[in-house]
Amino acid sequence: MRLRGLNLRYVLRRLGTFVLTVWLAATLIFIIPRLAGGNPIAAMVGKISVAAGGAETAHSGALVAAWDARFGLNDPVFVQYLIFLKNSVTFNFGFSITDYPASVNQLIGAALPWTLGLVGLATVIAFVLGTGIGAFMAWRRTPSLIRSVLPLSLTFTAVPSFMLGLLLLWVFSYTLGWFPAGNAYSLGVTPGLNLPFLWNVVQHGILPALTIVGAAMGFWALSMRGMMVTIEGEDYMVLGEAKGLRPSRLFWRYRVRNSALPQVTSLALNLGAIISGQILVEYLFDYPGVGQLLYQGILNEDYVLVESIVFLLIVATALAVLVLDLILPLIDPRISYLREVPR
């Protein structure tokens, strides 16, 4: 099969850009902490010993040396860099400093499904709802009752997401007791592909999901509405009306179809970013996702973990942009990377 509007050269060039982006990201992530100086292992050992009783232990020097070797910090920088690059592209991030001997892969692997499920679903729902609300807000034929209610749904966007989350927690968890206050599932249930477990997960996910949807929906609605209004005066809209087309046709095929193109572009960028989770919301609901992990990593100065998450975020965003560029000719016929345009 051949994708519309694409040629091999373009796809190869685009893949090249992707590889370059990932390489640059990896290199920067390698360089920046080393510029900052300091020895994270010495710092950590120091912290541990303080926690263990305050005094410098006799072995702490040996401990630092052993761990330096374990993390490869004694190798020449160039060797470190090559090993780092190889590990990065194979997504082998090594060991977490704070959670040693847990590997970063294990930590992220455990958190990622929760984040993808929660933040991914919530982002898509917010996109669909928000875009729909924006479209109907801009439509003259929307019943006036509905039209006056639609903007109310955007008030949540004006509130910061953690405030909205707190409000939801207070009302639906503490006061009404309808939903659990935190975590992804109850401690008592055994994870597995069965209905009781899934239902338990859904119950835990509803409040954080509502928070994300409520906070994001308004942005989608406002940009969609703005686009719909901008398009209204376009020559093709006027001609569509002159043609006496059915109002529903004018709405969907003329206005929504043309307004939605920029929305899809922003959605792709947002989907790339969900991989790093939603720090505030995950923290608030004690949700075991990547955002929570990132927060803990920052708190513990576990920069192997933090770097890995940032690297994943960059790869995912670059990937989303790559996919977007490849599918754009499918949704907007004006975009074509073919050499010649048929005349």
Partner 1 sequence: MSDAVLEVEGLKVEYQTSSGPAVAVNGISFQVFPGETLGLVGESGCGKSTTAMAILNLVQAPGRIAEGSIRLNGTELSTLNPRSMRRIRWQEVALIPQGAMDSLNPVVRVDSQIAEVIEDHEGRQRFADMHERITELLGMVGLPARVGRLYPHELSGGMKQRVCIAMAIALRPKLLVADEPTSALDVVVQRVVAQTLLDVTQRLGMAMILIGHDIALQAQLVDRMAVMYAGSIVEVGRVESIFDHPSHPYTQLLVSSVPSITERRRRPSDATVREVHHRPSGCVFRLRCPQAFDRCRAEVPAMRELVPGHVVACHLYAGGSGEPAPAEAAGHV
Q: Point out which span in 56-64, 109-117, 158-166, 228-236 binds partner 1 (CB under 8 A).
A: 228-236
In whole angstroms, how close is the CB of 225 to partner 1 at the nearest point?
A: 17
Distance of CA 181 to the CA centre of its chain: 23
Specify whether the CB–CB gap between 297 and 303 falls below 8 A. yes
Backbone angles phi, psi at 103, to 5 degrees: -85, 155
Q: Is 258 in the site for partner 1 (CB under 8 A)?
A: yes
Does 332 help bind partner 1 (rule: CB under 8 A)? yes
Q: Would you give the binding string for partner 1 spanning residues 282-321, x where CB under 8 A is met?
A: ----------------------------------------
CB of 254 to partner 1, least distance (A): 6
257 interacts with partner 1 by CB under 8 A: yes
- Burial class from Cβ neighbours inside 10 Å (0-12, 13-18, 19+) for residue 133 reads buried
Q: Candidates 89, 240, 264, 326: give the one binding partner 1 (CB under 8 A).
A: 240
Q: How far is the CB of 249 from partner 1 (least distance, A)?
A: 6
342 binds partner 1 (CB under 8 A): yes
CA 104 to chain centre: 19
Q: Does 239 help bind partner 1 (rule: CB under 8 A)?
A: yes
- Specify the DSSP element, H or E, that contains 166: helix 161-168
Q: Could you tell me how far CA 270 lies from the centroid of its own chain? A: 6
Pick the stretch among 58-66, 173-181, 205-213, 257-265 that binds partner 1 (CB under 8 A).
Answer: 257-265
CB of 2 to partner 1, least distance (A): 16
Would you state the structure tokens that stand for residue 218, as one six-digit string? 């308004």
Instruction: Check binding of 252 to partner 1 (CB under 8 A).
Output: no
Q: Decide if 122 contacts 207 (C-beta within 8 A).
A: no
Q: Tell the smallest beta-carbon distance from residue 242 to partner 1 (Å).
A: 5
Secondary structure of residue 189 in the 3-state scheme: coil
- Report the residue from 245, 264, 298, 327 that binds partner 1 according to the rule CB under 8 A: 245
Residue 17 near residue 325, CB atoms below 8 Å: no
Q: Facing residues of 95 across strands?
A: 103
Q: Which stretch binds partner 1 (CB under 8 A): 9-17, 107-115, 212-220, 327-335?
A: 327-335
Stretch of 17-25, 164-172, 192-200, 330-338 lying at the interface with partner 1 (CB under 8 A): 330-338
Find out whether 329 and 14 touch, Cβ atoms under 8 Å.
Answer: no
**CB nearer partner 1, residue 261 or residue 326:** 261
Residue (53 or 244) nearer to partner 1, CB: 244
Residue 184, token pair as written in the block? 């992804």
Q: Tell me the angle at which helices 121-137 and 257-273 cross, rounded to the nearest 10 degrees.
A: 160
Does residue 254 touch partner 1 according to CB under 8 A? yes
Q: Is 241 in the site for partner 1 (CB under 8 A)?
A: yes
Instruction: Give the integer Cα–Cα distance in Å for 313 and 265.
Output: 18
Beta carbons of 45 and 62 less than 8 angstroms apart? no
Is 111 exposed, middle or buried (CB count within 10 Å of its CB: 0-12, 13-18, 19+)?
A: buried
Rg of the chain over CA atoms, in angstroms?
25
**Smaller CB distance to partner 1: residue 57 or 230?**
230
Region from 118-126, 278-286, 290-298, 334-342 binding partner 1, contact rule CB under 8 A: 334-342
Per rule CB under 8 A, is residue 234 in the interface with partner 1?
Answer: yes
159 vs 261 by CB, closer to partner 1: 261
Interface residues with partner 1 (CB under 8 A) are 233-236, 238-247, 249, 253-254, 257-258, 261, 332-334, 341-343
